[in-house]
């Protein structure tokens, strides 16, 4: 159990560092900004209590905010995503004794993981980009940025699964 906690603390630090040191430097005409750090929320154990999910989401978002000088923006988007996560988790049928595992691609299968991560990432990114611009002024442009960045984040997270959980 405590081994599990240490592993997730490590994952938290890893996600934040990858985000602020590498991902924030990726720029394609301000269209693609990947937010890789959501990996941490995606991989929390299935039986994580919902209140803990929200608090961890808030802590993660605020940490990213401190680095990016955007107080509140990442925090609100990540809390929103953490709130939606249990609804996606419920779409899988899991045995009671298996609930301490993480919903990784190896544990849950490729098809389910793609659906699970893609939906949550797109919700997170859309929320984030709208909060960042704080208006519906350039609505289509913001949607386009959310979808492109979301897809890019999704590919990175899929790849990271094969690197972290290599057998």
Residue number, 113 or 129, with CB nearest to another protein:
129
Greatest CA span in the chain, whole angstroms? 49
| Angle between helical axes of 73-89 and 50-68 (0-180°, round to 10) | 150
Q: Which residues bind another protein (CB under 8 A)?
A: 20-21, 24, 26-27, 29-30, 33, 50-51, 54-55, 57-58, 61-62, 65-73, 75-76, 79-80, 83, 131-134
Query: Would you call 34 exposed, middle or buried from its count of C-beta atoms within 10 A (0-12, 13-18, 19+)?
Result: buried
CB 60 within 8 A of CB 37: yes
CB of 25 to another protein, least distance (A): 8
Residue number, 20 or 106, with CB nearest to another protein:
20
Residue 101 is classified by DSSP as S
Residue 146 tokens read as 């959310």
CB of 32 to another protein, least distance (A): 8
Residue number, 57 or 103, with CB nearest to another protein:
57
CB of 130 to another protein, least distance (A): 11
CB of 45 to another protein, least distance (A): 17
């Amino acid at each position: 159990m405590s081994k599990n906690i240490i592993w997730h603390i490590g994952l938290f630090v890893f996600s934040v560092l990858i985000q602020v040191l590498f991902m924030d430097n990726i720029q394609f005409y301000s269209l693609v900004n990947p937010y890789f750090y959501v990996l941490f929320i995606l991989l929390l154990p299935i039986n994580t209590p919902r209140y803990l999910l929200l608090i961890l989401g808030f802590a993660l978002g605020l940490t990213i905010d401190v680095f990016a000088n955007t107080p509140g923006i990442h925090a609100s988007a990540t809390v929103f995503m953490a709130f939606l996560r249990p609804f996606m988790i419920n779409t899988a049928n899991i045995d009671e004794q298996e609930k301490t595992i993480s919903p990784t691609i190896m544990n849950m299968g490729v098809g389910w993981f793609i659906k699970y991560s893609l939906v949550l990432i797109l919700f997170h990114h859309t929320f984030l980009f709208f909060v960042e611009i704080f208006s519906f002024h350039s609505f289509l442009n913001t949607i386009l940025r959310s979808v492109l960045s979301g897809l890019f984040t999704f590919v990175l997270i899929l790849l990271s699964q094969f690197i972290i959980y290599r057998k």
